Amino acid sequence: MMRFVVIVLLVVLFGAVKLPAELALSATHRRLHFRAVEFDPGLREQIGQLGFVAALSGFRALVADVLFVQAHMAWERTEWGRVLFLFRQVTTLQPRALLFWDMAAWHMAWNASAAALRDPAQPRLALRIKAQREYIQLGKDFLERGIRNNPDRPQLYEALARLYRDKDKDHEHAAEFFEKAADLPDAPSYARRFAAYEISYCEGREREAYDRLHTLYSAGEKERLPTLIRRLKDLEIKLDIPLDQRIANPVP
């Protein structure tokens, strides 16, 4: 009985000593937006036995790098199903590595989608387009999950904006994510300008786009790029801006 009481007291004491460190660690994870890997059977199905063992051990980064190389090799062989499977493993094991999310989205939304549209084994155009759209959606899904794991980093917001712009021709969402990228530290200098470009293509938001682009134009010569001048000229005509208020630069 005495031995049992001593053991219980030791466990309680150990927990009391350990608790502040665990609370500090949890606070750090929340601050860094780190989402821990959930060790359940669903994870094993998603990332395979090797990835599951790595997640349970201290070798997640090493195994993720190996799987990333394997994904590149699968891409060279155009094995799109395997590329998808391997990148799901890689991004699950290393959710804070932006490169993995970005590359996964690029392979799905650009490479695999283009291959699906040109697939000689599928004679029906409608089915090829359907497969193309499914791969684009997979790329979008990678970027959205990457952003949830890295909400404080601008790179994936920008990548998602480019996907909406180039693949969906969705200027509203492209503007939204360029703007979100621009609001973060270390954002590229062009993100705010690209957001204004996309707004200029949105029906009903021409005046907002004109004001934004004119503000950039007024900031100095470094902002007076050919695309910005061209979009301003188009908006001046569309909004019927008085001639004496129009910019002097000729159309590029």
Q: Residue 111 belongs to a domain with what CATH number?
A: 1.25.40
Residue 34 has pLDDT above 60, yes or no: no
Q: Report yes or no on 97 lying in a domain.
A: yes
Looking at residue 63, what is its pLDDT? Answer: 83
Distance from chain centroid for Cα 181: 10
Looking at residue 251, what is its pLDDT? Answer: 79
Q: Do residues 33 and 15 make contact, with C-beta atoms less than 8 angstroms apart? A: no
Looking at residue 41, what is its pLDDT? Answer: 46
Please compute the mean of the pLDDT values over residues 23-47 and round it to a whole number. Answer: 46
Domain extent, residue 82, equals 40-150
* Distance of alpha carbon 190 from alpha carbon 71, whole angstroms: 31
Number of domains in the chain: 2
Looking at residue 33, what is its pLDDT? Answer: 45
Claim to verify: residue 44 and residue 144 sit in the same structural domain? yes
Domain boundary among 91, 118, 150: 150
Looking at residue 244, what is its pLDDT? Answer: 92
Residue 52 has pLDDT above 80, yes or no: no
* Distance of alpha carbon 44 from alpha carbon 52, whole angstroms: 5
Claim to verify: residue 176 and residue 198 sit in the same structural domain? yes
B/e letters for 60-75, b = 16+ CB within 10 Å, e = fewer, are: beebbeebbebbeebb
Please compute the mean of the pLDDT values over residues 15-26 and round it to a whole number. Answer: 47
Claim to verify: residue 97 and residue 160 sit in the same structural domain? no
For 110-154, the pLDDT digits (tens) are: 999 999 999 999 999 999 999 999 999 999 999 999 999 999 999
Domain boundary among 133, 150, 167: 150
For 114-125, the pLDDT digits (tens) are: 999 999 999 999
Helices (H), 57-189: 60-76, 80-93, 98-106, 113-117, 125-149, 154-163, 171-182
Q: Cα dihedral angle (189, 192, 197, 199), rounded to 10 degrees?
A: 170
Looking at residue 4, what is its pLDDT? Answer: 46
Claim to verify: residue 139 and residue 50 sit in the same structural domain? yes
* Distance of alpha carbon 192 from alpha carbon 173, whole angstroms: 14
Claim to verify: residue 63 and residue 120 sit in the same structural domain? yes
Q: Report yes or no on 6 lying in a domain.
A: no
Q: Report yes or no on 52 lying in a domain.
A: yes
Residues in Cβ contact with 181 at an 8 Å cutoff, skipping those fewer than 6 apart: 154, 155, 157, 158, 161, 187, 188, 191
Domain boundary among 115, 150, 185: 150
Under the banding of pLDDT at 50, 70 and 90, the label for residue 40 is: very low
More confident residue, 249 or 21: 249
For 76-109, the pLDDT digits (tens) are: 999 999 999 999 999 998 999 999 999 999 999 9
Q: Report yes or no on 243 lying in a domain.
A: yes
Claim to verify: residue 225 and residue 162 sit in the same structural domain? yes
Claim to verify: residue 127 and residue 163 sit in the same structural domain? no
Claim to verify: residue 46 and residue 132 sit in the same structural domain? yes
Q: Which long-range contacts (CB under 8 A, 24 or more apart) does 81-87 make?
A: 83/107, 83/108, 83/112, 84/108, 84/112, 84/138, 85/48, 87/142
